[in-house]
Every structure is written in structure tokens, then in C-alpha cells.
Amino acid sequence: MIYNAGMKIANLLENEQAVSIFDSFLPGMRKMAESNPQAAALSVEQLVRYTRNPKAEELIKALDAALKKLNTPENAVSPSEKKLIEQFSAIAEADRAKEMKPAVRRQNAIRPGRPWLDTKGDRIQAHGGAVYYEDGLYYWYGENKEHTDGRNGIWTWGLKYYTSKDLMNWDDKGFLIPPELKDPNSALFPTRRVDRPHILKCEKTGKYVCWIKLSGPEAAFTIWQADRLTGPYERIENLYHPGGHKAGDFDLIADPLSGKAYIYFDADHTSMLCMELSEDYLHAEREAAKSYPNLTPPFTREAPALFERDGKKYMITSGMTGYVPNRSDSAISDSWDGVFTSLGDPHIDDSSCASFNSQISKIFRVEGSGRFIAMADRWLPETPVDARLADVFTRVIAGAYEPDRYKAGEEERQEMYAANKLETANTSIADYVWLPIEWENEKPVLRWQDSWTV
């Protein structure tokens, strides 16, 4: 257990010392939290802010300092975490006992939105992922949601990777980075909300550097590196905040001409921030530019996917509505450290108003060509969004920030809350939407195709 102002109230209540600190700063607040399941799910700092205390920020800072003193070896594993370790060890043992399947399945097309099976006939588990090309092979890596059923507390079971020569048939190669099952303070512990891994090879060091976002109260990055693309990976940072910012969805890009590399990330839910990476790609050193500033959910941009064509830099992003899809936006810039200008939604004839019911994760070039493929996840295939529901989500979420402009009824709010699952979503059955990028002058566009080949 990591003790700080970002920890959940429910976790804090397991430790008598933490409870004593909480009571000394917020007398009487614990009884309310214990009697309200929704309050217990909040972080300490969220609860303090909800009290509308005029000195909330000072209080959070003092609470954070007091709680951090509890980060001792004796408090490293809480009683509930000990049970989780036992549960996860049993799952891992059952996985090891599974019979190996032969690779016999082949397919002749990419079929967006339909279950994508590997060559053994199992669902591909590489969500929020990316594709890396090396030595004649494509490597598709991402979040393993195999055990994420929305009930057992598992968010991601490590990172898996697959290889292919034709981008249609993928061989399961196992873990790129396995879950860490015995250290609940590790970012790769299965209950931690790790998302969207991205890898760059640093030409200066020869190392492969993998950044992974950790969402939830920590809102940080965990950073790993390896001598080979397929690992083994060594952890460099467990919880890292570039420039002191809370970290959201991100992408990495390297400029082959200048040798510089950049991270674009949703910083503090206020802008899409570009920071220049250090020479070894292991840290972010300089704030270079901000795009999409001063937006609020659901219009705040996240899930950036970056690519370059004919010297122009492009970025496609989603809005912020959890796992429920929304309208995307495309943008253009003359340089990686410049501000991006919106070009509008790239999805053409999209009756769902929700990016063909998907969220962008990465854009990559087909090797040896000028063609690009947009990778996206369909996180909730059993909860399709149409134009009406997309409008409900927009008005309910935006109404929290601009109530005079965006209005929604109580029934609409309840409908949104019922559909907007994050921690209770069964993403083990999430699908993928891969589509080729087409062009209208300088604007990238995506058109729906039931089936297509590279």
C-alpha cells in the first residue's frame, strides 16, 4: 500500500495509524465515509475537495505529508492486498497449467469491430496498444485484459505481444512485460490501472524504452527499458510525473532528422502537453507546446495518436468520456514542438457520432509504403453508442462545467451513469477497430469498412 493523499478512503480505513491521521485532520468525516460506499471509493484528496473547505489545498498538502510517513516496510502490504496476492497467484498457476494450442487458424482480411482471434483461436489481448516493425516482423503489443471481467478487481494482467508478417494473422508470443503479482505497490500489480504502453528505440543508448500510463489516483507513468524489443524489461520509474503534472493518455514520437523525441500527454486534464524527452528517453525535460488548452470534459482531449506525412505532423485524439466512445478530432502542425490546429472529426459518415464506436490508440505506417493504419479499441462491444446516447453523454458531462449551456434531465444522468463503466467493465471481450487512413487534401479521414486487406 502506498500512503498519500491520492489513496482511496477504503484502503486508508484498513490501517489504524492512517485512520488516526485522517481523524485528526477531518474530525467526524470518517463516519460519513464509512456509511457511504461512493465516498469510500474516492481518494482522500477528492473527499477533501468535495467538502468545499476554503483551505482544501493546504489541508491536502498537510494530509499527504502525514500519510507518506506511513510508507514503511511494515505497512507495505495491507490485509486486503495479501488476499489479492493469494488470488492472483492462483490465477497464474491455472494459466501455467493450460494446455498449449497449436497455431492453425488463418484469416484473409481485417474485420473491424468483430472478435479478432490469434493463430491459436484465442482473442488477441493487446488493448490500448501499438505496432512496432523490426527485422521483417510487425510486433503488436498492449494491455492484456484476459482476466479483466469487471468483478475480480483486475485491471491489466501485464502486457502481451504478438507477431505477424501480413498484419492479419498474429502469433501469441506471451508477455512483453509480465504482471508483478507479489508487490501491490508496483505499477504492474493487476489492480493498478496501467494503460496504453508505447515504445521507442533510443538510438543513442541502443535501448528500447517503454512508457506506460497509470491512471486513477496516481495519474503517473511507469517507465521501463530493455536491450531488445521483446525484453526482458527493467523498471526505471514506478510512479513518474513529468514536470509535476498529473498524467493522462499519451503517445511518444521520435524525429529521425533532429534525433529528438517527444511525449504528448493529457496534462492535468487541461491541455495536450508536448514535452521534449531526455537524450535517453527515460524522462521528460522541457515543456515545448500546449494544444487544445482550457477545455473541460467531455471536450478535453485524450488518447493522442501521432504520425508524420510529407513533413506535416498529425494527431488524432478522442474526447474524455471513460470507456464510452465519443467524437474524435484530427489536428495538424508544422513541427513536433509546435501547436496543433484542429482539422475536425476524421470519421466520415459516422452515424454513431462516436468514432465508429471506438477509441484511437495508435497510428502506424505500413512498412515500405506511404499507407497508414489507425488502431482503435472498442472497449464496450455490448453497449453500442448511437447519436442520441452520444448527445446524452455530452450534455450530462459538459453540464457539470457549463450548466447554463448544457442541460440534461435526471433520467438522462442515470442512463449515462449506467453505461459509463470503468472499473466494472468486462474488457476481456473488448474488440478492435483497425481502418486505413485516407486523405482529403491534407486532412486524414477514416471510412467504415466491414472487411479490408492491407
pLDDT digits (tens, 9 = 90+) for 56-97: 889 899 999 999 999 998 888 988 999 999 999 999 999 999
Q: Is the pLDDT of residue 37 over 80?
A: no
**Position 6 confidence tier, pLDDT thresholds 50, 70, 90:** confident
Which residue in the block uniquely carries the three cell numbers 469491430?
113
pLDDT at 419: 80
Axis crossing angle, helix 16-25 with helix 56-68, rounded to the nearest 10: 160
Average pLDDT, the chain: 94
**What is the pTM for the complete model shown?**
0.93
In angstroms, how far is CA 193 from the centroid of its own chain? 8
Residue 290 CB-half CA count within 13 A:
12
Mean of pLDDT values over 128-155: 96
d(CA 413, CA 425): 19
Which residue type, as a one-letter code, is found at position 8?
K
Residue closest to 142 by CA, chosen among 377, 387, 413, 409: 377
pLDDT at residue number 199: 98
CATH classification code of 101-383+421-445: 2.115.10.20
Q: Identify the pLDDT of residue 361.
A: 98
